[in-house]
Amino acid sequence: MNFPSNLFNSHSKENGNFFLGITRILGFKPKDILIFKKAFLHRSANRKDKDGNPMNYERLEFLGDSMLGTIISKHLYSEVPEGDEGYLTKMRSKIVSREHLNELGKDLNLIQYVESRIPKSHFGENIHGNVFEALVGAIYLDRGYKYCEKFINERVIQPYVDIEQLEGKVISYKSLVIEWCQKQKKTFNYNVYEDTGNDSLKHFAVKLSIGGNVIAKARATSKKKAEERASKRAYFALQDKMDKS
């Protein structure tokens, strides 16, 4: 399926509103609005270019992820001269975590521009961060590195990057719990168990056992999320012990 010839007609009311909305978000005018349209195309829209190649935000998301990582790395390298490679890597991971990118996408309300055949209410949380990364990729293609850096500085670094706060931010409670268990030579297990909840959406239930004792339980829409949620509960249950070790 090819794009209709008038789909990106800048004179149409719909695309005029899109252009104005994106300009407000970027802080500057796009040169090629087609690139930004791609940044909001979900694969379910089933769009293709004139050569028959699929058109959706996923390739731009890949590019944006790389640009975001590069620009954040440069910022940390300049701002934290005493930080070693391990410290800088950890700090960058906190800034570009999926949770944080989802927050950025929500703050900019990017989902309002997504074109999809799937109702937006059915999207998972990650759609917000995915589209944010695609937007960064579109900026790079449309305007180059300097504009990309400017956008990330104004929309990510200035409002959200506080080195001292980030140092204390936990990225993964599961990693924290596992590290503590290994340090204390304690056995641990994440076990999925039967759950008879009434939710229409499938949920996974996980028990976290440490040293043979069940410390926490949690439910979520994926096993990974349930494990992280159980780990967070375990962390707060064992915080005094963990902080002293």
CATH no. for residue 212? Answer: 3.30.160.20
pLDDT, tens digit (0-9, with 9 covering 90-100), for 120-172: 888 888 999 999 999 999 999 999 999 999 999 998 998 888 777 776 666 67
**200: containing domain:** 173-244
pLDDT of residue 194: 67
Same domain, 124 and 199: no
Q: Indicate the residue among 139, 167, 195 that finishes a domain.
A: 167
pTM: 0.67
3-state secondary structure of 55: strand
What lies within 8 Å, CB to CB, of 61 at 6+ separation is: 130, 131, 133, 134, 137
pLDDT of residue 71: 96
Q: Indicate the residue among 145, 167, 189 that finishes a domain.
A: 167
H or E segment to which residue 25 belongs: helix 13-26
183 lies in some domain? yes
5 lies in some domain? no
Catalytic residue among 133, 142, 227, 228: 133
228 lies in some domain? yes
Same domain, 96 and 201: no
- 94, 96, 101, 130, 133 from 136: Cα distances, Å: 18, 13, 11, 10, 5
Same domain, 146 and 234: no
Question: Which structure tokens are listed for 105?
Answer: 């996408």
CA 105 from centroid of its chain's CA atoms: 8
Q: Is 133 annotated as catalytic?
A: yes
Same domain, 142 and 41: yes
Catalytic residue among 14, 32, 51, 65: 65
| Confidence band, pLDDT 50/70/90 cuts, at residue 10 | very low
pLDDT, tens digit (0-9, with 9 covering 90-100), for 34-92: 999 999 999 988 888 888 888 999 999 999 999 999 999 999 999 888 888 888 888 88
31 lies in some domain? yes
Q: Is 61 annotated as catalytic?
A: no
